[in-house]
Structure 1
């Protein structure tokens, strides 16, 4: 794995995942899934606090705004199509991909509402309303269930079926979406 490319770690926040330079792109997905799991736990904890923490809110909002969208795009634009091409009929990957793509649409549709709940919070003040607690908890739970499916089915099939060329295409797409594709060119030249 390469060095950290996504900025400094914020206080109390798990660091954004390292980008795979020039390592295995699936290792990056694994790291990203671990980070997503930690953020889900933080959302659940935040929803239960009597006085929301401003730094925690900021960190979660940053994740939802800057890290989660490219991760979803990595899967939709590169990983899922590669799996659809490489998996065998007996792998029955198509229904899994269809479900995950539908989950992605729901996640994207819900992010603005979650951001609004977080923006409306009174850091250090009163707790979230019962409705807002429920929305945060439901979002976190749904995201975790989605993550379990990716981790249990998608990544193992990707490790089994994708070849070296596929991994290179996956990595290039991931770097391009983050504006880091020049880093890969530098690695190739060096």
Structure 2
């Protein structure tokens, strides 16, 4: 059974996909995705530490990593990062942060398929976790947390300061399109 935290009405429950209505402001949507990813990291740590890992949590984490995380990475790589490169000032030194984040995305892209396979096996009750499996889960969660710190402490605040309304509209439309929602809720504005 997946443990639930006290619900803050200003954000999702951390267990459900990010509400597409938050795409009215794509930076709020990305922030919510980051909060959701932190919840997934908690699940990964719990799975790694458990003698009998929670199969529902493993299925949930596998779904997030396989289906939602690639969209989130694309939101950043294809929309947010190029706009920041255009809008940031030299003193923002954004290129170094973006290079680090892109390298992290590449690293995650290599490890995530193996992690998803492992989590799906756990979800189906087919796998007893080896010490190597447990190390993969905790290493991945730790790496993700460091990545999120950089995004939340530096990148999103700079984006809020530098991006224009037009930039946000462009991001919103691209993110809606990426999710196949552009025709459904294309009129959603910042």
| Structure-1-length-normalised TM-score | 0.87
Q: Which residue of 1 aligns with 2:93?
A: 92
Verify the 8 A CA contact 2:56 2:123 in the aligned structure 1. no
Q: Cα 1:85–1:34, aligned 2, differ >3 Å: closer, same or farther?
A: same
Name the counterpart of 1:5.
none
The answer (yes or no) to whether the contact 2:84–2:159 under 8 Å persists in 1 is yes
For 1:185 and 1:115, how far apart are their aligned partners in 2? Answer: 32
Contact 1:46 1:53 in 2 (8 A): yes
Match in the other structure for 2:9: none
Moved over 6 A (4+): none
Q: CA deviation at 1:57?
A: 1.1
- Higher mean displacement: 156-165 or 108-117: 108-117
Alpha-carbon spacing, 1:27–1:102, altered in 2? closer, same or farther (3 Å): same
In 1, Cα distance between the equivalents of 2:27 and 2:150? 15
Q: Please, which runs of 5 or more residues in structure 1 have no aligned partner?
A: 1-8
- Unpaired runs of 5+ residues, structure 2, are 1-11
Alignment RMSD (CA, Å): 2.1
Number of aligned residue pairs: give it: 178
TM-score (norm 2): 0.87
Match status 1:82 vs 2:50: no
- Number of the residue aligned with 2:59: 58
Question: For residues 72 and 169 of structure 2, what CA distance do their matches in structure 1 show?
Answer: 17
CA distance, structure 2, for counterparts of residue 99 and residue 177 of structure 1: 24
Structure-2 change in CA distance of 1:157 and 1:129 (3 Å): same
